Structure 1
Amino acid sequence: MPRSKRAKLVSLTKVSKKTREHKNAMMNELQVNVDKWRYCWLFEVGSMRNTHLKTVRNLWKDSARIFFGRGAVMAKALGTTEAEEHAKGIHQLAKQIKGQVGLLFTDTEPSEVIQWFADFKQPDFGRAGNIATRTIILPAGPVMQRHSDPPEPFPHNEDPQLRKLGLSTTLNRGVPTLSGPQKICTEGKPLTSEQTQILKLIGERLVTFRVGLLARWDSETGEIQQYESSLSSQEKEEGDEEEEQMMSE
């Protein structure tokens, strides 16, 4: 009987070695930045979207360094005890690295950092499971694409897709049309996959990407300043479904 092609022995030696070396490289990079910048900020993200996080990185690339993800690696690099800490007092920050958080290293004055992140908000489309922040009702008449300026009705070839997603449309002179108002979602209730697709098609953004500052370490004093995050518990839960590896810019 021929040997099954599935019955293969795969050595994980090279994979493990590569992973360990990669983690060590990231830890070394973090420690280099601890030594380079005056402040280290711990932040969390609401309604996580990789695209918007990259925007933050690009806007700060000349005056800061940002790390996000792989919390265990970040905590270990900083040191979670006084005996293990890489710099004076930073273990108090490392102990707070839990969940979807990141680190921002910069010399920018705290007041400017606080104001910048308070002003930075990026609306985005909701995902299945997100809680609707408002009730959306489409009026009777042509179904409009609101993200266009000015809004335009959907073309006739989109009608089957709209009906498949739950809209009670009919073609009126080649335009998908509702005979009466139709509720798409209800404030305070989780969004379904179909609802999120409809909302995206019509251009309704129900979530907002924001960054909440949690704590700041000062290399000159070794002291930690705590901050009360501006994010709601719901925003914290609305994270990216895909696990993101730690990246820095």
Structure 2
Amino acid sequence: MPKSKRNKTVTLSKTQKKGRERKEAIVNEVKEAAEKYSSVYVFSFENMRNQKFKEFRDQLKSTSRFFLGSNKVMQVALGHSAADEIRPGLYKVSKLLRGNTGILFTNLPKEEVERLFNEFEEYDFARTGGTATEKVELKEGPLEQFTHEMEPFLRKQGMPVRLNKGVVELVSDFVVCEEGKPLSPEASRILRLLGMKMATFQLHLMCRWSPDDFELYIQGPDDSDVENS
């Protein structure tokens, strides 16, 4: 009698082990970096663009090491309190790892790090759900920036268009997006076609740690206890 498929044993141990090993590896790498580099920064980010961040990271790879991922894993590595921190004062860094944040370990002078972060700014097309930075409205009439082949696609995006002697024409005024409101999938596609970039990828320094100093750059309502502890 053939074996029943219902009795087939499925093990998840390999997947679980791999995930645990990866977390342990990150913890060890963070601890090693904390011993190797002279200062530590926490930074926050807006509108992350992976390729642009990779280019920025590669620019500093000879002097620095970035960690971007699970905040909880990095907190474990640095220590949650003065009792389990790996170096004096690093638990203050750990407390700031929440939301869209990362860590920079570096041997660069403070002034150089501040300059690099202050100058870093990349503009890109906004994605679905992003916030419109301005109102965009197209007026009734010909849309000569679009070829006639694009008319069906524009219609699918909700635009009231038609072909008039081979020219794409808007039959009535059309609001693509409103300032301060989330972008729909259709709006983000239209803005890309219009060449309008509304997303700014920025990195903001939150704090700096060195063996002799701890400094907050951005202090929120919940961070006063970090600076004073």
**TM-score bracket for the superposition, by shorter chain length:** 0.7 to 0.9
Match of 1:240 in 2: none
Match of 2:48, as an amino acid? M
Secondary structure of residue in 1 paired with 2:83: coil
- Provide the residue aligned with 1:131 in structure 2: 131
Distance 1:60 1:140, change over 3 A: farther
Q: Secondary structure at the match of 2:175?
A: strand
Equivalent residue number for residue 62 of structure 1: 62
Is the aligned partner of 1:198 residue 2:198?
Answer: no
- Identify if the C-alpha distance between structure 1 residues 27 and 183 changes in structure 2 by more than 3 Å, giving closer, same or farther: same
Are residue 25 (structure 1) and residue 22 (structure 2) matched? no
- In the alignment, which residue of structure 1 is the partner of 2:159? 167
The structural deviation recorded for 1:93 is 0.7
Which protein has greater RCO, CA pairs closer than 8 Å, 6+ apart? Answer: 1
Offset of residue 215 of structure 1: 0.6
Q: What one-letter code is carried by the residue in structure 1 that aligns with 2:72?
A: A
Paired residue secondary structure (1:126): coil
Distance 2:18 2:75 in 1: 20
Unaligned runs of 5+ in 1: 145-152, 231-249
Q: Calculate the aligned-residue CA RMSD, in Å.
A: 2.3
- The Cα offsets for residues 117-172 of structure 1, whole Å up to 9 and x where unpaired, read as 1121111222222221101122444436xxxxxxxx22221110001101122223
Letter in 2 for 1:12: L
Corresponding residue for residue 116 of structure 1:
116
Q: How does 1:137-148 map to 2 (within 5 A)?
A: 137-143=137-143
In the aligned structure 1, how far is the partner of 2:50 from the partner of 2:6?
36
* Correspondences of 1:11-22 after superposition (within 5 Å): 11-22=11-22
Asked if the contact 1:212/1:229 (under 8 Å) is kept, the reply is no
* Match in the other structure for 1:95: 95
The number of residues matched between the two structures is 220
**TM (normalized to structure 1)?**
0.80
Cα-to-partner distance string for 1:96-132 (whole Å, 9 max, x where unaligned):
2111210011111112211221121111222222221
Which amino acid is 1:228 matched to?
I
Corresponding residue for 1:189? 181
Q: How far apart in 2 are the matches of 1:169 and 1:33?
A: 57
Could you tell me the percent identity over the aligned residues? 38
Does residue 158 of structure 2 align to residue 176 of structure 1? no
Instruction: Work out the CA distance in 1 between the residues paired with 2:146 and 2:166.
Output: 9
Q: Is 2:216 the counterpart of 1:216?
A: no
Between the aligned partners of 1:81 and 1:103, the Cα distance in structure 2 is 18
What letter corresponds to residue 112 of structure 1 in structure 2? E
Give the equivalent residue in structure 1 for 2:223: none
Do the aligned partners of residues 110 and 192 (structure 1) sit closer, same or farther apart at CA in structure 2, a change above 3 Å counting?
Answer: same
Q: Which ranges of structure 2 fall in alignment gaps of 5 or more residues?
A: 221-229
Range with greater deviation from structure 2 (42-51 or 135-144)? 135-144
Work out the CA distance in 2 between the residues paired with 1:137 and 1:6.
60
1:66–1:104 contact (8 Å) kept in structure 2: yes
Corresponding residue to 2:215 among 215, 225, 231:
225
| 1:74 counterpart residue number | 74
